[in-house]
Amino acid sequence: MKVVLLEDVKSLGKKGDIVEVSEGYARNFIIPKKKGVEANQENLNTLKLQKANEEKIAKEKLEAAKELAAKLNEASVSLTIKGGKDGRTFGSVSSKEIEEAIKSQLGLEIDKKKLVIAEPIKTFGNHEVKVKLHKDVTAVLKVKVGEE
């Protein structure tokens, strides 16, 4: 019996897959637990529409991420931290501080988890911070660190 999976089933397939299972397995486990439905014409059409909708949403998210990346590549934020003798800093610039600077200076909402800081920013001057906006889109933000 062919079944369209509504959710991932271990050792059988992922959501949206059409798999062949025994009638007993389908009737007693997959269909009653709402893990899948019989692969008839109506359910296949519903699956096709859902996939088309998901692709459209994914494309819109990708376009939005590209637009935001273009803005971030041209933008820069300025931060100040306390400094001591010989141009040394007390502490480092955290991703939370960069997130707050982006929010206040650029008016953009960027989650601090999306900021990729290779090594802690412990010096004054200009630095580049990567922002992972989408699995395919990464922007580079310029961060200027000054002394208080």
CATH of the domain at 121: 3.10.430.100
Residue 23 belongs to what domain range?
2-62
Task: Indicate which CATH number applies to the domain containing 11.
Answer: 3.40.5.10
User: What angle (nearest 5°) sits at the alpha carbon of residue 123, between those of residues 98 and 143?
Assistant: 35
- In angstroms, the CA 62 to CA 56 distance is 10
The pLDDT of residue 147 is 85
Q: Output the pTM of the full model.
A: 0.70
Instruction: Give CA separation, 109 vs 54, 63, 66, 68, 103, in Å.
Output: 24, 17, 15, 10, 6
Q: Are residues 27 and 91 in the same domain?
A: no
Burial class from Cβ neighbours inside 10 Å (0-12, 13-18, 19+) for residue 95 reads: middle
Total domain count, the chain: 2
Q: Are residues 37 and 77 in the same domain?
A: no
pLDDT in tens, 35-85: 999 999 999 999 899 999 999 999 999 999 999 999 999 999 999 988 877
Beta strands across the sheet bearing 18-20 = 18-20, 2-5, 36-38
Q: Are residues 141 and 111 in the same domain?
A: yes
